[in-house]
Each structure stands twice: as structure tokens, then as C-alpha cells.
Amino acid sequence: MNKLAKRLEQGLLRLYILWRASKQQVSGIDLLKVEREHEHELSAGILYPALHRLVKDGYLTLKKTVEHGKVHKYYRITKRGKDALEKAKESFGEPMKEFLREWLKIPRKEEEKTLSLIDLKNGESGTIISIKAGHRAAQRLADMGLTPGTKITVAKSAPLDGPIEILARDSKLVIGRGLASKVFVRVEEK
């Protein structure tokens, strides 16, 4: 394995273990087995130190049970581990999504459509994908913090094709309907 992949693996391994543990308690052998199924070279020499590190940091707890006279060790995720996993998803996972999708050429699922702001219902959230407005309007939107990658929530729209009130970066913005129709978002899947 080349150096880049090795580096990545070290970082991602802990994340992967936590993710597995969040679904159900795992043993070291469970993890090795599944990896081998996927023909991935994961050696015990790498896995166990990672597991111990996670226990030491408080993200996993180690449980020993005795079954049929044999000692089984299981790793369970702690609350702290759950929080860490969630936080990593927010600050790391979500932004990586687009990149990974493009890099690995993962096809988009059906539910993920790109809608314009005016198509969103009150209360719906989305992430801005693109803005198809004129240079000046796009600049102004960017100045107000509406750039690709920004999370927004539609609060309401004024009646009779009036402007739209959205929540972005912790403050309320009002956008004229015409302009709003040129902002395209990807709706969050529930």
C-alpha cells in the first residue's frame, strides 16, 4: 500500500471502528473478519492498537464476557464516542460528501434533487449547490453569506409571490422571489 493510502487508513480506521461499534458491540475478530471478506488487508497489528487507543480515550469500553468457558472481549461505543462520531460527521463528513461522491463517482440517489429555493416548503432545509444569477446578484448573495455549501432553512414566503424568508448562518434573510428562484439547493434527506 502506498504512503498516502496508509496515512488515510490510520486516520479513517478509528472512525470506521467507532461507526461499527455504534451499530452494535464488536469484537476485534468481527472487525478483522469483515475486512477480510472485503479483501482488505487489515492486520491485527494495526487494529488492536487502534482499539486500545479508542478505549483509552474514552470512546469505547471494553467488556469481557465468558461464553462456554471462553473469554470474549467486546467493544462498545460510549456516549463520548457517539458524540465524537457525530461531531466528525458534521465537521468532516458532510463537507467531504461532495468530494467523495465526485472522486468515487457515486451516482446520486433519487431523493436528492436539486431544487430552487422557491420550491422548498416552509421549514425545509438544504445546502446551496449553485447560484445561477447575474454577477452582481451573485456577489451580493455571497456577501450576505449565501455561497455553495451554505446550509439554509426556508422559514416562510410572503403571499402572492412575495419574497422568501430564510435562515442562514444564524440570522434571518429576506430574498426577493425572482432571485430566490436562481438559488439551487440540495434538500436534506430525512
Partner 1 sequence: MKKRITIALAGNANVGKSVVFNQLTGLHQHIGNWPGKTVEKAEGTLFYKGCFIDIIDLPGIYSLSTFSIEELISREYIATEKPDLVINVVDASILERNLFFTLQLLELEAPIIIALNQMDMARKKGISIDCKKLERLLGVPAIPTIATKGVGIHKLLEVAMAVIEGKRKTNPFKPTYGKEVEKRIKKLASLLQKMPINYPPRWTAIKLLEGDEGIKEMIRRIDASILATAERLLKEIERIHGHSCFTVIASEKYQLANAIATKVQKLVAQKKPLLSERIHDITTHRIFGYPIMALTLLSLFFAVFNFGDFFSRILNGYFTFGREILENIIGTGALSKIVGGGIFEGVFAGISIALPYIIPFYIILGLLEDSGYLTRIAFLMDNLMHRIGLHGKAFIPLILGYGCNVPACLGCRIMETERERVIAAFVVTLVPCAARTVIILGLVGAFVGLKWALMLYLLDLFAIFILGRIAFKVMPGEPTALIMEMHDYRIPNLKTVAKQSWFKVCDFIKIAFPLIIISSLLIKLIEVAGLLNPIADALSPITTNWLGLPSIAGITLIFGLLRKELILIMLSALFGTTNFSTILTPVQMLVLTLVTMLYIPCVATIAALTKEIGPKKALIITIIEIVFAIFIGGIAFRILTLFLH
CA pair distance 150, 135, nearest whole angstrom: 19
178: contact with partner 1 by CB under 8 A = yes
Q: Find the binder of partner 1 among 32, 55, 173, 187 (CB under 8 A).
A: 173
CA pair distance 86, 59, nearest whole angstrom: 12
CA pair distance 185, 137, nearest whole angstrom: 17
> What is residue 26's DSSP assignment?
B
User: Which cell numbers hold the place of 158?
Assistant: 410572503
170: contact with partner 1 by CB under 8 A = yes
Total interface residues for partner 1 by CB under 8 A:
37
Q: How far is the CB of 140 from partner 1 (least distance, A)?
A: 5
96: contact with partner 1 by CB under 8 A = no
Q: Find the binder of partner 1 among 176, 185, 187, 190 (CB under 8 A).
A: 176
User: Which of the stretches 38-46, 77-85, 103-111, 142-150 binds partner 1 when contact is defined by CB under 8 A?
Assistant: 142-150
Q: Please answer whether residues 86 and 93 qualify as being in contact, where contact means their C-beta atoms are separated by less than 8 angstroms.
A: no
Helix (H, G, I), strand (E, B) or coil at 66: strand
> What is residue 109's DSSP assignment?
P
Q: Which residues bind partner 1 (CB under 8 A)?
A: 130-131, 133, 135-145, 147-150, 156, 158-163, 165, 169-179
